[in-house]
Structure 1
Amino acid sequence: MRLLLMSDTHLPKRARELPAALLAELPRADVVIHAGDWVDEATLDLLESRSARLLGVYGNNDGPGLRARLPEVARAELEGLRFGVVHETGEARGRERRCAARFPDLDVLVFGHSHIPWDTTAPGGPRLLNPGSPTDRRRRPHCTYMTARVTARDGLTEVELHRLPPRTGTGAARG
């Protein structure tokens, strides 16, 4: 099973559309995971229409329409692994401990909010993945998203952070 992970798309505030490289991944993904801060419902509509399966949550910048359609925390079992998705996990210091305490029943937790890619495993707790943002790099050198594979036999493998080329012209992401 191939996964596509993203967060903090902030459309149309940070960019007018999702990057072409990210859109090209949609048909290859069995599950698309979005860890919140969509900002517009059109992005949710787009991902729902182009994804085999979508697992998403709302973020702190998402208004009433998105909050009515999405949960604060989403959970799914994928090939025997227990996944969770949440937007915010708090500051980086102590994240592993907090997430292990809050989500002791998960194998993998996907989160967003910081726009900073993250891949660690909490001692005795879940693997923590933040795909960054495909549209707003903030103080990072690149906009990013992640892909991964999950199988019943091997678990979570091939976790890869993808760096997007800088956006130019109208709709460019702000740095």
Structure 2
Amino acid sequence: MACHHVVVPVSMVFTSDTHVPKRARDLPHALWAEIEAADVVVHAGDWVDVALLDEYERRSRRLEAVYGNNDHGPLRERLPEVARFEVAGLRFAVVHETGDAKGREARCAARFPDVDVLVFGHSHIPWDTTAASGLRLLNPGSPTDRRRQPHGTYVTAVADDGRLRDVTFHAVPPRR
């Protein structure tokens, strides 16, 4: 009998720059629902408060996360600067800052030659591009601090047999 390798699609949520409680008292309900439903949750730093990390850990099946430039003390003790992991045949890295947008693809491809998807934050600007090397760069933006963007954002996607598909940027309505 032939042995068939079955790859099960993995639902993922990507978020960054939550800045709770500095920019918002809590995350949007829709994002919490996605976090609770996802197989893997990725946070690219700037939590600000360790209580939010605790809540993510409580509500996530699997959390992959890093600290950001606004994270200090217990957040830096508990989280790495760079996280690397594999899901459904895809090699991921997560880092908070990647520097200036100009030259980002080439710079990141050189820094992460063994990675398929690099998740980053810091700018609060949604970003989804692919470097010449094939490295996909994904910034989910911020669900709580839109800066100069029309609205806050986070991302859902599916990792499936070496591909990241159904990548969707979700708009977070402004708080009233």
Q: TM-score range by the shorter chain?
A: over 0.9
Task: Structure 1 unaligned segments of length 5 or more: list them.
Answer: 169-175
Q: Does 1:149 align with 2:158?
A: yes
Contact preservation (8 Å) 1:103, 1:125: no
Question: 1:120-145 deviations in whole A, cap 9, x for unaligned?
Answer: 00111410000000000001110000
- Residue 98 of structure 1 corresponds to 107
- Residue 174 of structure 2 corresponds to 166
Of residues 32, 49, 57, the one that matches 2:58 is 49
- Residue 12 of structure 1 corresponds to 21
Inter-partner Cα distance in structure 1 for 2:98 and 2:34: 26
1:121-136 → structure 2 map (5 Å cutoff): 121-136=130-145
Question: Offset at 1:26?
Answer: 1.6
Q: Does 1:36 align with 2:45?
A: yes
State the SS of the aligned residue for 2:110.
helix
Question: Offset at 1:87?
Answer: 0.1
State the SS of the aligned residue for 2:55.
helix
Return the letter of the residue paired with 2:62: R
Q: Compute the RMSD of aligned alpha carbons.
A: 0.8
State the SS of the aligned residue for 1:148.
strand
Question: 1:74-124 deviations in whole A, cap 9, x for unaligned?
Answer: 000101110000000001000001000000000000000000000000111
Of residues 68, 75, 89, the one that matches 1:59 is 68
Larger Rg: 2
Q: Does 1:112 align with 2:128?
A: no
Return the letter of the residue paired with 1:81: L
Inter-partner Cα distance in structure 1 for 2:112 and 2:135: 8
Identity, % of aligned positions: 68
Return the letter of the residue paired with 1:167: R
- Residue 173 of structure 1 corresponds to none
Q: What TM-score, normalized to structure 2?
A: 0.93
Inter-partner Cα distance in structure 1 for 2:46 and 2:94: 12
Runs of 4+ in 1 over 4 A off after TM superposition: none
What is the count of residue pairs matched by the alignment?
167
